[in-house]
Amino acid sequence: MKKLIALTLLAALVLGAYVAAGPFLTVRAIRDAVERGDTRSLATQVDFELVRASVRAQLEDYLARRMGEGAATDPLRQLASQVTGAMTGGVVEALVTPAGIGALLQGRSVVRRAMGYPPEAGAAPAPGTPPVAFDPLRGATYRYVSASRFDATVQNADGVPIVFVFTRSGLRWRLTDVRLPVDQLIGSLTRR
C-alpha cells in the first residue's frame, strides 16, 4: 500500500513538473522550428487563428480610437473606417505568419518593415562575424499568470515591450496571443 501511495505521489510530481516546464518546452520548440524554417512544426506550437484575431482586434481598437467619437454619424469617417478595416486585415495576414512570428520573437520591428521603413542600422551582422545563436526570447521576462497562462515579455528593436501569451489546454502549451503596444509602435514609426 505504501508503494502505491509513493508511486502515485511520484507520478503527480512528475506530471506537475512537466506541466510547469511546458511553456519553456514550447518556447524551445518554436525557436527550433523557426531556426529550421519548419512551418509545419511551428503551426503545432502557435495557434495562428487566435493570434491573428487578437492582433486584428488590437489594430482595429487603435484605429477606432484614432477616428474619434464622431465616426458613427459622419459618412466620410465611416468610409475611412471601412477602408482602414480592410487594410488592417491585410497587415495582420502579413504579420501573423511563421516568418512574422519568428521575427517578432527575435525582437525585430516587423511593423516597421511592413510599413516600408528601411531596416534598423546594425540589423545585419558584419561580414566575417560568427553567427549568434538564435534565441527568440533573449532577455525576456517570464511569469505564470495562472495555472494555464504564461507570459513572456521581450523588448523589440525599438525598446517597446511585446508580450507573448502561452495558454495550456490539457497538458499542451501553445502561443495563443501576442500583445502589441500598438500606440507606442505606431508612435515610434511616425517619429522617424
Inter-axis angle of helices 48-67 and 75-95, nearest 10: 150
Q: Are 89 and 137 in contact (CB under 8 A)?
A: no
Q: Please state, for a pLDDT cut of 90, what percent of the chain lies above it.
A: 15
pTM for the model: 0.70
pLDDT tens, residue by residue, 104-147? 655 555 544 544 445 555 445 555 555 554 455 667 889 999 98
Judge whether 132 and 125 are in contact, CB under 8 Å: yes
